[in-house]
Structure 1
Amino acid sequence: MKNQIMSYGDMQESIRNLDRAGNWHSILLLDSCHEGLQDAFVFEESMRFLSLEQQARILRKKSYPDRCKALCNRLLQISGISMATGLPHTQLKYKNGTYGKPQLKDIDGLAFSMSNGERYVAQYIVKGKHCEVGIDLASTADYSGDQDLNNFKEIFSSQEFESLIQCNPTKRAPMFAYIWSLKECYTKYTGLGLNSELCNIDFGKLNLFDSDNTLRRRIGGKEIWFYSHWITPNEVVTVCHESSYDLDQNPHLHHLTLQDVLKQLRKTR
């Protein structure tokens, strides 16, 4: 099944019908390099949707691009959940899971995960089913070059490392990004993050793909379903959840603009 890319209008329609659609999942993407954020007024207006504590955390970022990325991540999180629940973003409450993973408070049957990438920030939302989810964005720019290949032996399983060194040298950067996105996505699913032993998360022999790909792996005693998609030739997004009949299908992919997100937040202010 090919991934369906939706416009903002289509997404609004699909989200309005969530309660009747049963189990539902989508990937929301927001370009954190949006030109509008170079305008100080637009940046300041966007910041006003956040608490003073959140604004201060963003402003502590050293570089302006990192501030934009942190701002877009937070805006996407609250607007995406607002659309999925129909609640004003000001009414959303959060709590931390066992390992500090952010979760919604007092709302059942909705899970989300966030990731920052080279150009995009992304959110994975699952509604209608209580489950843990994970998402990761990885870039070919994360690959530092063949001179550091041996360093990956401590991170990758033997078959993963074999997949990397045996592929065409021109494909090593995307292969690395793909493997890395799988591993990081799973650590977001568990909530362990960098506390995970990445070498123990074994995906076995892997092959590159042109557009999108799904796979199942048994990890930690559970069957986990993964979906990966190249959103640009250089950046891949991967999501995962525990395998289930009604969710093991390609999620909808929504490309949002900063204007889309701000429009949604103004509506529910």
Structure 2
Amino acid sequence: MGEVFAININESINDSQFQYLLSIITENKRDQVKNFLFLKDAQRTLYGDIMIRYLACQKLKINNEQLVFFHNEFGKPYLLNSSEFYFNISHSEDWVICVVSKKEIGVDIEKIKPIDLGIAKRFFSKNEYENLLSMPDNMKVNRFFDLWTLKESYIKYKGTGLSMPLDSFCMSIDDYGIRVISNDKKHLFFKQYSLDKGYKLSVCSEENEFSKNIRYLNLKNVIQSLRLQSTSTL
């Protein structure tokens, strides 16, 4: 089952707690976090990594120090410890989202903001663009972000990054549900969640079974759990 977890980066933690989180990630990731100019960018990257570690430890009953990650040729991360633990991360503004499943999965979250619909003409398929234009004016921006997050969730499920053009496949949204029209032979499933006013969140999965609701993680509780786990292995 695809499960969706969220952390709000505005949750307050002290410097000691922040430094602890930095201490339990890889050196490369730590350097990446420290090189960000703005704190919120650092928080989004750090908390995403911590969410993966916390969830993997909880579900696989192993310690953070045992986790081994690798990346495919396009940069999508995987966990070597288990062939039945797949994950994906997305973040936008105040939210960091992590999805986990026993099969491949992808997620995208975007903050809704005024948008030049010319972007859709450039990046969307012809059918998607025509569908967007057919919407009432007051619904066009919402539909744009519906399509954008669905398309991004599919690309992130595939793990191909920018090597797959956004206009090389088409998302269909109608009374029968959401589906992707592409050369993909697998039957894929999509779900959208209501997270926070002003955001769109879409998930793509090989399984037609999703958690009903988003599980909101408390960062302080996550830190406490990781610390207790580390202490118990001493």
Per the normalisation by structure 1, the TM-score is 0.77
Structure 2 residue identity aligned to 1:135 = V
Helix, strand or coil at the partner of 2:124: coil
Q: Contact (CA 8 Å) 1:118, 1:235: kept in 2 or not?
A: no
**Corresponding position: 1:101 with 2:64:** no
Q: Contact (CA 8 Å) 2:108, 2:153: kept in 1 or not?
A: yes
Q: Cα deviation per residue 1:165-222 (whole Å; 9 max; x = unaligned)?
A: 2323232222221111111111111111222110112013x369xxxx9523343232
Q: Contact (CA 8 Å) 2:90, 2:97: kept in 1 or not?
A: yes
- Which of 55, 62, 79 lines up with 1:87 in the alignment? 62
- Which of 137, 157, 160 lines up with 2:109 in the alignment? 137
How far 1:33 sits from its partner (Å)?
Answer: 2.3
Change (3 A) 1:81 1:200: same
Q: Cα deviation per residue 1:46-102 (whole Å; 9 max; x = unaligned)?
A: 322223332211010111111111111111111111112111111111122243311
**Corresponding position: 1:181 with 2:167:** no
Distance (Å, rounded) in 2 between the aligned partners of 1:266 and 1:163: 50
**Corresponding position: 1:268 with 2:232:** no
- Which of 251, 255, 259 lines up with 2:220 in the alignment? 259
Distance (Å, rounded) in 2 between the aligned partners of 1:173 and 1:118: 18
Q: Percent identity?
A: 21
Segments of 5+ residues of structure 1 without an aligned counterpart are 1-23
Segments of 5+ residues of structure 2 without an aligned counterpart are none
1:229 maps to what in 2? 193
Matches within 5 A, 1:201-216: 201-204=169-172, 206=173, 215-216=178-179
**Corresponding position: 1:43 with 2:18:** yes
Distance (Å, rounded) in 2 between the aligned partners of 1:44 and 1:264: 16
Helix, strand or coil at the partner of 1:121: strand
Structure 1 residue identity aligned to 2:187 = E
* Higher RCO (CA 8 Å, separation ≥ 6 residues): 1
Matches within 5 A, 1:111-190: 111-127=86-102, 131-141=103-113, 143-144=114-115, 148-190=116-158
Q: Contact (CA 8 Å) 2:169, 2:181: kept in 1 or not?
A: no
1:11 maps to what in 2? none
Distance (Å, rounded) in 2 between the aligned partners of 1:55 and 1:48: 8
How many residues in Structure 1 have an aligned counterpart in Structure 2?
A: 228
Q: Cα deviation per residue 1:113-145 (whole Å; 9 max; x = unaligned)?
A: 111122211111113xxx32111112212x42x
Change (3 A) 1:207 1:267: farther
Distance (Å, rounded) in 1 between the aligned partners of 2:132 and 2:39: 34
1:8 maps to what in 2? none
- Which of 17, 37, 44 lines up with 1:62 in the alignment? 37
Helix, strand or coil at the partner of 1:35: coil
2:209 maps to what in 1? 249
1:238 maps to what in 2? 202
Q: Contact (CA 8 Å) 1:28, 1:80: kept in 2 or not?
A: no
Distance (Å, rounded) in 1 between the aligned partners of 2:229 and 2:158: 32
